[in-house]
Amino acid sequence: MVSFVLVVVLVVAVLVLVGFVTGYNKIRSADVRVAEALSGIDVELTRRASLIPSLVHTVQTFAAHEKGILDHVADARAALTSATGSNSVAQRSAAERQLDAALTPLLALGQTYPQLNSSNNFLDLQRNLSDTEDKLAFARQYYNDAVATLNRLLTTMPWMFVAPLTKVDEKEYYQTPR
């Protein structure tokens, strides 16, 4: 009888250990996916920011007297570049919102200056910017999905008992800058 109880206790201990290891690995993997997704957003934000100087230069060639718009875009680009280096998702989103607000009047200049709108360089930059926007939307969605998975793991049973030991906290969602 004693050996049977000892075997049962040993089996339960092994099952608890396996459950702990499984939960720990699951939560840490989800945390790594969130970090990977956030760096995917940074890649697209950096790509977007790198297109801005060429766009500004092209517009500057045709509309030199639109200095206020061009300066606003340059400032917004600098803020976005700075935000991609921070840990704050909210700061990235705010910088992206600021850049969107600055780009709208810049892209509208294409309507004001027909020769600009017919420039192959300007049209190519607009296409690249649009492509980057699509990739950025996908990267945001991927990040938010990864955050949802992580947050769900941290707050549901049985993983919520392992979560404090992983030292992983819930993450904030990426807010759409529109």
How many CB atoms within 10 Å of residue 113? 16
User: What pTM does this model have?
Assistant: 0.78
Q: pLDDT category, 65, cuts 50, 70, 90?
A: low
Question: What are the structure tokens assigned to 67, written together?
Answer: 């200095």
Q: Per this entry, what is the length of the chain?
A: 178
Check residue 63 and give its pLDDT: 67
Mind giving me the DSSP string for 160-173? GGTHHHHT----PP
- What are the structural domains of the chain? 22-166 (1.20.1440.20)
The average confidence (pLDDT) of the chain is 84
- C-alpha distances (whole Å) from 71 to each of 29, 66, 94, 112 are 43, 9, 18, 18
**DSSP code for 156:** S
Check residue 149 and give its pLDDT: 93
Surface-to-core class of residue 85, CB atoms within 10 Å of its CB (0-12 exposed, 13-18 middle, 19+ buried): exposed
- Top mean-pLDDT range of 35-49, 50-64, 105-119: 35-49
